[in-house]
Amino acid sequence: MTYHSRNGQEFVGLRLKYRGCYQVVYDAQLGQRIVFEIHDPKANLHAIDEALREGVMSRNVLIGVLNALKSRNIGFEYPA
């Protein structure tokens, strides 16, 4: 699942790692890329999809995605 912001300058996607864990990829046109892992390998994909859709519609896409994941109790590890 992949999504672009309304202005087309930000991208959010979900990918599956080789160990079965999911990663959320955030990429901004300005060159900012952040990858964070979903803790639960059995996480509900429908809930993750909803969170990404909600987040990408936010004014601040990255914060919107993080808040949407938190509100659905989807654990993730944000890079330090």
Total domains, the chain: 1
Per-residue confidence band for 78, with pLDDT thresholds at 50, 70 and 90:
confident
pTM as predicted = 0.89
Per-residue confidence band for 17, with pLDDT thresholds at 50, 70 and 90:
confident
Range of the domain at 47: 2-77
Query: What average pLDDT is seen over the chain?
Result: 91
Q: What are phi and psi of 3, to 5 degrees?
A: -145, 150
CA dihedral of 38, 74, 62, 55, whole degrees rounded to 10: 130
pLDDT in tens, 34-56: 999 998 877 899 999 999 999 99
